[in-house]
């Protein structure tokens, strides 16, 4: 089985103007640049790969504000940002999300889309890079929670029809300080506190996979500890 992976961050009911969202998006993309060579040039979608390659999006607030303000990217009180990067059609990375909504029902998000095989995936699907991605999300977007993990593990531990963001563990996790303190966790889990933000948790320095029983057992142990500490729960309106 080939596992696909994703990274995402989530928050709820935090209204922000388009310019503030553009600033956050710029901060995020600039922090992503050192993590993967193909993440230094982003594009909008188009009818085909060659046309999309011509729709380069410079990483600056003015350009990103125009992108977020497009009619096609605005819905009610939030702006969306579908972007992609890559040197060939077979190995692209996608970033999708939305920002600015005051809704307490629909979360604001930033998601790095599924990765599985290829040279880009080999470089990205490591603990240092994915921890770096979630760190960039935490610093730029100030989410309530963040996660990087495999879809297979998410499905394996799913309770009910959906997996609520913040309610399950993954390879890399982030919890904002206002969700509560992180309890002591077993080796080889790595814990890093980000001042004025929250805490990053990386389960294992190895590539996390559901085919490794030790990884699954470690995730279950950490899940129980975080649940007992009250950290695993659905999103709440920002800061509550």
237 located within any domain: no
Q: Average pLDDT of 117-122?
A: 90
240 located within any domain: no
Q: Structural domain tally of the chain? A: 1
Is pLDDT of 78 > 60? yes
141 located within any domain: yes
pLDDT tens readout for residues 172-212: 999 999 999 999 999 999 999 999 999 999 999 999 999 99
Peptide bond before 188: cis, by omega within 30 degrees of 0? yes
What confidence score (pLDDT) does residue 68 get?
97
Domain of residue 168: give its range.
5-228
Residue 58 half-sphere exposure toward CB, CA atoms < 13 A: 5
Is pLDDT of 161 > 60? no
The DSSP element (H or E) to which 192 belongs, if any, is strand 190-194
38 located within any domain: yes
177 located within any domain: yes
Alpha-carbon distances, residue 121 vs 37, 133, 171, 200 (angstroms): 12, 13, 15, 22
233 located within any domain: no
217 located within any domain: yes
Taking the whole predicted model, whether its pTM rises above 0.75 is answered as yes
3-state helix, strand, coil in the chain (%, to 5): 35, 25, 40
The DSSP element (H or E) to which 41 belongs, if any, is none
């Amino acid at each position: 089985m080939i596992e696909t992976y994703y990274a995402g961050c989530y928050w709820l009911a935090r209204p922000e103007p388009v310019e503030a969202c553009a600033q956050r998006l710029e901060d995020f993309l600039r922090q992503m640049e050192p993590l993967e060579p193909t993440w230094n040039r982003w594009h909008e979608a188009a009818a085909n790969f060659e046309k999309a390659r011509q729709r380069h999006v410079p990483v600056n607030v003015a350009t990103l504000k125009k992108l977020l303000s497009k009619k096609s990217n605005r819905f009610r009180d939030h702006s969306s940002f579908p972007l992609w990067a890559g040197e060939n059609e077979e190995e692209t990375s996608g970033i999708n999300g939305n920002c600015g909504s005051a809704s307490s029902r629909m979360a604001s998000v930033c998601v790095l889309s599924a990765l599985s095989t290829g040279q880009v995936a080999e470089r990205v699907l490591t603990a240092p890079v994915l921890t770096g991605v979630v760190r960039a999300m935490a610093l730029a977007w100030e989410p309530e929670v963040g996660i990087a993990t495999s879809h297979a593990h998410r499905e394996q531990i799913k309770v009910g029809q959906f997996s609520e963001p913040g309610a399950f563990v993954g390879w890399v996790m982030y919890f904002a300080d206002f969700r509560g303190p992180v309890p002591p966790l077993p080796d080889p889990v790595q814990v890093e506190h980000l001042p004025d933000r929250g805490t990053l948790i990386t389960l294992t320095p190895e590539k996390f996979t559901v085919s490794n029983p030790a990884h699954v057992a470690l995730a279950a142990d950490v899940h129980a500890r975080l649940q007992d500490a009250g950290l695993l729960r659905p999103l709440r309106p920002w800061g509550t």
